[in-house]
Amino acid sequence: MNETYTLDQLPNIANKVIKHAKDTKVVLFYAEMGAGKTTLIKEIIKKLGVTDNVSSPTFSLVNEYQNNDNELIYHFDFYRIEDENEALNIGIEEYFYSESWCFIEWPQHIDGFLPENAIVARIKIIDEITRQITI
């Protein structure tokens, strides 16, 4: 999948990411700061049936949500992590292999622990309002 999109097309892009990742449920989001990783993940989580307020887990490392079907969904942000071993302290391996949805921002900070079957999503800034996603 390689698509260019704007903010008003996020619902459609979110559906496509879900479709591409439904077998593994672990998605790694690579992009520079301000590219819209969190914004896209919020839309994906919404599409998965979560009605809670979704926010970035920048300081907590992980936010947990539950959808209407009582499925757990995890949103990670490893931007502030200084040593990838810190991720072990929150039990990331249990999360990654739980068969629950896991959306990971800044996965390059924990390269040694990423599951091999994860889907890689790269977001590129095209201009102020346009992004490109490659899966």
Tens-place pLDDT, residues 75-133: 999 998 988 888 888 889 899 999 999 999 999 999 999 999 999 999 999 999 999 99
Per-residue model confidence (pLDDT) at position 54: 80
Higher pLDDT, 65 or 59: 65
pLDDT of residue 56 exceeding 80, the answer is no
User: Is residue 64 a part of any domain in this protein?
Assistant: yes
pLDDT of residue 58 exceeding 80, the answer is no
When pLDDT is averaged across residues 46-67 and rounded to a whole number, the result is 86
Dist. CA 115–CA 120, nearest whole Å: 11
DSSP string, 11-79: HHHHHHHHHHHTTT-EEEEE--TTSSHHHHHHHHHHHTT--SPP---TTTSEEEEE-TT--EEEEEE-T
User: Is residue 83 a part of any domain in this protein?
Assistant: yes
Percent of the chain at pLDDT exceeding 90? 81
User: Is residue 16 a part of any domain in this protein?
Assistant: no
pLDDT of residue 60 exceeding 80, the answer is no
Residue 56, token pair as written in the block: 């970035």
Residue ranges making up the domain that contains 29: 25-130
User: Is residue 96 a part of any domain in this protein?
Assistant: yes
User: Is residue 32 a part of any domain in this protein?
Assistant: yes
Return the CATH number at 80.
3.40.50.300
User: Is residue 117 a part of any domain in this protein?
Assistant: yes
User: Is residue 3 a part of any domain in this protein?
Assistant: no
Number of domains into which the chain is organized: 1
When pLDDT is averaged across residues 23-28 and rounded to a whole number, the result is 96
pLDDT of residue 57 exceeding 80, the answer is no
Is the Cα dihedral 75, 92, 90, 65 positive or negative? positive
